Amino acid sequence: MEYSHEVDNMAAILGPSLRTTNKKTLEKVKWPDGAKCAASFTLDYDAQQLWAAIGMGGLLPLSEGEFGGRVGIWRYLDLMDKWNIKATFFVVGLTAERYPETVKEMAKRGHEVANHGYTHQDMSKASRQDEKDDILRCSAVIEELAGKKPIGFRSPGAEFSENTIDILLDEGFIYHSTCQADDIPYRWEIEGKKKELLEIPFQWHLTDSMHFLASLTWGAGHISSPTKVYDIWSSEFDGAYAMGRHFHLLNHDFIIGKSSRIMLLNKLIEHVKKAPKVWYCRMDEMARYWKKNYWD
Ligand SMILES: [Zn+2]
């Protein structure tokens, strides 16, 4: 019941004035170098903050998050190296401060480090000032560790407010990655005005959390078979490849980092790599390409 309340509440906050352009999708996308489709691998680096931010500060949930910083993130980084894929990490500021060496390593290995808020708080419940301070504090931590100011933002817990887009525009972000209105990027429009902000959407069935996030203290969740999830993810890649879309897989350090799941991801990438002419891109590369070629 609480979950439906959240959705109703968010709809009321955002209202009909906040919407996007592209009334109809762009059917044929021209990807760089004649690629058949685009593929991006992103990871939300939450570790303890996914639980701490929703008031689950007990040792058990926090230790589950800690698995991400100690184990999961390293396995994911090594897997990306193995396949020579440059990923995008949406990093929580407090997580970066807890595990600074992991964020330095992301930058060193050529990945993009993007902003996922400082505390992972629910932005739909934050004041405008609080939300702005939280986002900027995260950017400052990332800039110090990764050497670059982030240009992309994913709202923590996929909850954002009526101020989020304005704050991102004011602070020079060029893309947001929290909505789901298409399977290719699209431009933001607010009250009839086109904005200098791109949405790079994700989809629930292409997240590890929908298949694998479970906790007794949380009182809910799913534990799926990696075989079933491989079937879903590889079929979705085949669809994106056949239709020329953007395949975007979203994982989390402490969820995908479990041994059977990192093997699942390895198997999926093996499948994806068999397909010729795929454009592997970080989200910043996608945003810049889209802006150059599809900004009207
Ligand atoms: Zn998160």
Evaluate whether residue 69 is within a structural domain. yes
221 alpha carbon – ligand 1 mean position (Å): 16
12 alpha carbon – ligand 1 mean position (Å): 23
Alpha carbons 154 and 76: distance in angstroms, whole number: 19
Range of the domain at 168: 33-294
Which pLDDT does position 23 carry in this prediction? 65
Tens of each residue's pLDDT in the chain, 296 residues: 222 222 233 344 455 445 555 567 888 999 999 999 999 999 999 999 999 999 998 999 999 999 999 999 999 999 999 999 999 999 999 999 999 999 999 999 999 999 999 999 999 899 999 999 999 999 999 999 999 999 999 999 988 888 999 999 999 999 999 998 899 998 887 777 788 999 999 999 999 999 999 888 777 788 999 999 999 999 999 999 999 999 999 999 999 999 999 999 999 999 999 999 999 999 999 999 999 999 86
Total domain count, the chain: 1
Residue 193: how many CB atoms within 10 A of its CB? 7
30 alpha carbon – ligand 1 mean position (Å): 31
43 alpha carbon – ligand 1 mean position (Å): 9
Which pLDDT does position 25 carry in this prediction? 85
Evaluate whether residue 170 is within a structural domain. yes
32 alpha carbon – ligand 1 mean position (Å): 30
Alpha carbons 148 and 181: distance in angstroms, whole number: 29
Here the tokens at position 148 are 């670059």
159 alpha carbon – ligand 1 mean position (Å): 10
Evaluate whether residue 3 is within a structural domain. no
Please report, for the domain that includes residue 136, its CATH number.
3.20.20.370
Evaluate whether residue 99 is within a structural domain. yes
Alpha carbons 121 and 235: distance in angstroms, whole number: 34
Tokens 């560790």 -> residue: 145
Alpha carbons 37 and 183: distance in angstroms, whole number: 11
Evaluate whether residue 19 is within a structural domain. no
Alpha carbons 236 and 142: distance in angstroms, whole number: 32
Nearest in space to 295 (alpha carbons), one of 26, 16, 112, 14? 26
155 alpha carbon – ligand 1 mean position (Å): 8
Evaluate whether residue 10 is within a structural domain. no
154 alpha carbon – ligand 1 mean position (Å): 8
257 alpha carbon – ligand 1 mean position (Å): 15
260 exposure class (CB count in 10 Å sphere: 0-12, 13-18, 19+): exposed
118 alpha carbon – ligand 1 mean position (Å): 11
